Structures are given as structure tokens and as C-alpha cells.
């Protein structure tokens, strides 16, 4: 019975939204707006009639932006970095954004209305992402990250780095598996990240050599996704949710207790490398807040007194693994 009023309210909201967007389209004129796009090392400018959405404008000007939800803000693939203009980030975008992304101007292009001049940056491997989206191997929960102070400045100097023979065998096995597959760099990095718990530099050099791609491309990709780490990580990643819903229900208390128990700050690894402690802005389980996750497992309605039990569970698993 509760269902009927909820449906009516939703219908009314939908009608209001449609009327507002029609009114916005018919009554408000944003005039001509200039879009400047930085892509593949060059910048291009074009003018459009204001009022359209950035994703449509980019697509109609030949930019291949990944999208699998037709602009409904439900896939999270259409991210670009808005460097100027674009207005405030919308609530519909927040679920797909890490705090760092929000700070660096990442937006869902399907949600950005062109109301004034806009400058954007499109990473040159978006086409690779498009291929991955098509093959359904891309995880939409992955966060994307841009380097703030210019990409090339982070590219390390080429130098000789010795690779441990066991690591060499492991990385060669991964590379053999993807041999000849186009657009496989992201899945390869995902596998390396899972195997080593991070992307070790010597392994990346080996990958660059075997795939005949410049290290700068690999490095750019490796630093673009938050799911990749260039620093060693613990075997188990604990994420304490600090999103609004979890925060008001005691997220900070959980984080403080977790830091005390593990003896690390956020971003740190325990000495035995069993755990890495991180925070997250929303895990998508607000109904069970406060929430933490360990690897892919979610622990809802979490309380600081449950920490010991959870840590014990994972320490036991690691011990069993080392004994088997």
C-alpha cells in the first residue's frame, strides 16, 4: 500500500523534471558557448549552442567518449576532466566520484550542461576504455584519476631495474595470456595488480618491453585508475566508509578504532603486510551504514567492537594460506 503514494510522488517529480527541462530549453538561451578540448597532446576549439549536454556535444564533434547508459548517469564511464566552466558537480555524479576526483574536476560528461565556455581534458586512452567497456571487462566501480601537475612530469627516467626471476615468470605468464589481444593493457595491469597487490616498477618495465609500448603510456594508465597502486599494499584492503550516511552513524569512530588496532594511518600498511587501511566516500550500501569493506566483502551495521573479530578472520586466512 505504501507503494502507491511513492509511485505518485515519483511520477509528480518526473513530470516536474520534464517540465523544468522543457522550460529550460525553450525559455533560457545560453547563447553560443566555446568548448576547448585538450586531447592527444593538442587542443581544439569549437562553438556550440548552449543548453546541450557535454557528452552529446563531444560525441557529435567526433570524440569517442565511453558510455553504456545513454547519458542516464548510471554507468560512470563518461568521465572527463573539466578544467574551466561546467558548474557544480551534481548529486547524480557523486556516487561515481572519489574525493580526489571531485577535487581535480572530474565530471560525468553526460551530466554537464554547456551553459558557458568550457575547457576539458580527455585522456588519450579513452578509446582503450571504450574497447574494454564493449567487452564488458571494465569494472564501473573503478575510480579514475588524473594527475594534477601534468602527466609527463611523473614519468620516471628509464633505468635498469632488476626483476626477480620468480616475478619475471609470473609477469610473463600474464603477458602470454593476453598475447595478440588488442586493447589489453588495462586488463593486464589489473592482473598484475591482483598478483602483486600493486604495480611493481620492474614489472611495468618488463610489460612495456614485451608489449612494445612506451613506459609513459603504462605509467599514465597506472596512475589514472585509483584501483591501481604504485606503492606496495597489504594482502587485505580495509576500507572504512566516510560517506555522509556512514559518517553520521559513527564512521569516524570506526576509523579511529581501526587506526589504533592496526597501528597505521589511513593509506598505511601493517608491518606484517596483512592489511592496508583506506577510506572510501560511499560503498553503495548506505542502507546498512556504517559500513566497512575488506577486499570484496562488505560488513554492514559495523561497530568498533566488531573490529577484532574481522581482523582475526583475515589473519587466520593468511596463516592458513602460508601453511598450505
Please give the residue ranges that form the binding site for ligand FES (CB under 6 A).
55, 67, 69, 71, 73-78, 108, 110, 241, 243-246, 282-286, 289, 291
DSSP classification of residue 293: E
**What grid cell was written down for 280?**
572510501
Q: Which is nearer to ligand FES, 197 or 279 (CB)?
A: 279
**Whose grid coordinates read 609470473?**
170
Q: Which is nearer to ligand FES, 63 or 219 (CB)?
A: 63
Q: Which is nearer to ligand FES, 55 or 222 (CB)?
A: 55
Q: Report the 10 Å Cβ neighbour count for 65.
A: 20
Secondary structure letter of residue 31 according to DSSP: -
Report the nearest approach of ligand FES to the CB of residue 152 (Å).
28
Q: How far apart are CA 123 and CA 246, in angstroms?
A: 33
What is the C-alpha separation between 255 and 233, in angstroms, rounded?
18
69 or 294, CB closer to ligand FES? Answer: 69
CA distances from 20 to 26, 28, 53, 116 (A): 10, 11, 15, 19
HSE on the CB side for 9, CA within 13 Å? 5
Q: How far is the CB of 78 from ligand FES (least distance, A)?
A: 3
CB-nearer residue toward ligand FES: 67 or 257: 67
Cα dihedral across residues 293, 74, 125, 116: positive or negative: negative
Closest contact distance (angstroms) between CB of 77 and ligand FES is 5
Q: Please identify the residue of the shown chain whose CB is closest to the bound ligand FES.
A: 243
- Which residue lies nearer to ligand FES by CB, 51 or 202? 51
- Nearer to ligand FES among residue 71 and residue 183 (C-beta): 71
β 297-299/292-294 pair status: antiparallel
Short-list 290, 305, 294, 309, CA closest to 250: 290
DSSP code per residue over 175-205 = HHHTTT-TT-HHHHHHHHHHHHSS--HHHHH
Task: Give the shortest CB-185-to-ligand FES separation in angstroms.
Answer: 22
Name the grid cell of 275.
592489511
Nearer to ligand FES, 219 or 302 (CB): 302
Beta strand spans in 60-182 (E):
79-84, 106-108, 118-122
Distance in Å, CB of 245 to ligand FES, minimum: 4
Closest distance of CB 284 from ligand FES, Å: 6
Shortest separation between residue 93's beta carbon and ligand FES, angstroms: 8
Q: In what order do the strands lie in the sheet with 297-299?
A: 275-280, 236-241, 292-294, 297-299
* CB of 70 vs ligand FES, minimal distance in Å: 7
Amino acid at each position: 500500500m505504501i507503494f502507491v503514494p511513492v509511485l505518485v510522488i515519483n511520477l509528480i517529480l518526473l513530470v516536474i523534471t520534464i517540465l523544468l527541462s522543457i522550460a529550460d530549453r525553450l525559455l533560457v538561451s545560453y547563447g553560443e558557448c566555446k568548448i576547448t578540448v585538450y586531447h592527444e597532446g593538442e587542443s581544439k576549439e569549437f562553438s556550440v549552442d548552449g543548453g546541450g549536454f557535454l557528452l552529446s556535444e563531444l560525441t557529435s564533434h567526433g570524440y569517442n567518449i565511453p558510455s553504456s547508459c545513454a547519458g542516464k548517469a548510471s554507468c560512470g564511464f563518461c568521465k572527463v576532466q573539466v578544467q574551466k566552466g561546467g558548474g557544480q558537480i551534481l548529486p547524480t555524479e557523486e556516487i561515481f566520484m572519489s574525493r580526489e576526483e571531485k577535487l581535480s574536476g572530474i565530471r560525468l560528461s553526460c551530466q554537464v550542461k554547456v551553459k558557458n565556455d568550457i575547457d576539458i581534458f580527455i585522456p588519450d586512452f579513452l578509446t582503450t576504455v571504450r574497447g574494454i567497456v564493449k567487452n564488458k571487462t571494465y569494472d564501473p566501480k573503478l575510480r579514475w584519476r588524473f594527475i594534477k601537475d601534468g602527466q609527463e612530469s611523473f614519468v620516471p627516467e628509464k633505468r635498469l631495474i632488476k626483476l626477480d626471476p620468480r616475478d619475471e615468470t609470473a609477469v610473463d605468464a600474464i603477458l602470454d595470456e593476453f598475447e595478440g589481444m588488442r586493447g589489453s593493457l588495462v586488463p593486464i595491469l589489473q592482473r598484475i595488480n591482483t598478483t602483486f597487490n600493486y604495480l611493481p616498477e620492474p614489472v611495468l618495465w618488463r610489460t612495456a618491453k614485451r608489449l612494445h609500448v612506451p613506459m609513459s603510456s603504462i605509467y599514465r594508465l597506472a596512475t589514472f585508475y585509483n584501483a591501481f597502486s604504485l606503492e606496495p599494499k597489504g594482502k587485505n584492503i580495509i576500507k572504512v566508509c566516510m560517506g555522509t550516511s556512514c559518517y553520521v552513524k559513527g564512521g569516524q569512530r570506526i576509523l579511529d578504532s581501526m587506526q589504533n588496532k592496526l597501528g597505521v594511518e589511513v593509506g598505511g600498511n601493517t608491518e606484517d603486510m596483512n592489511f592496508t587501511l583506506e577510506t572510501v566516500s560511499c560503498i553503495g550500501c548506505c542502507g546498512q551504514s556504517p559500513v566497512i569493506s575488506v577486499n570484496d566483502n562488505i560488513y554492514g551495521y559495523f561497530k568498533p567492537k566488531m573490529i577484532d573479530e574481522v581482523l582475526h578472520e583475515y589473519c587466520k586466512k593468511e596463516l592458513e594460506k602460508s601453511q598450505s
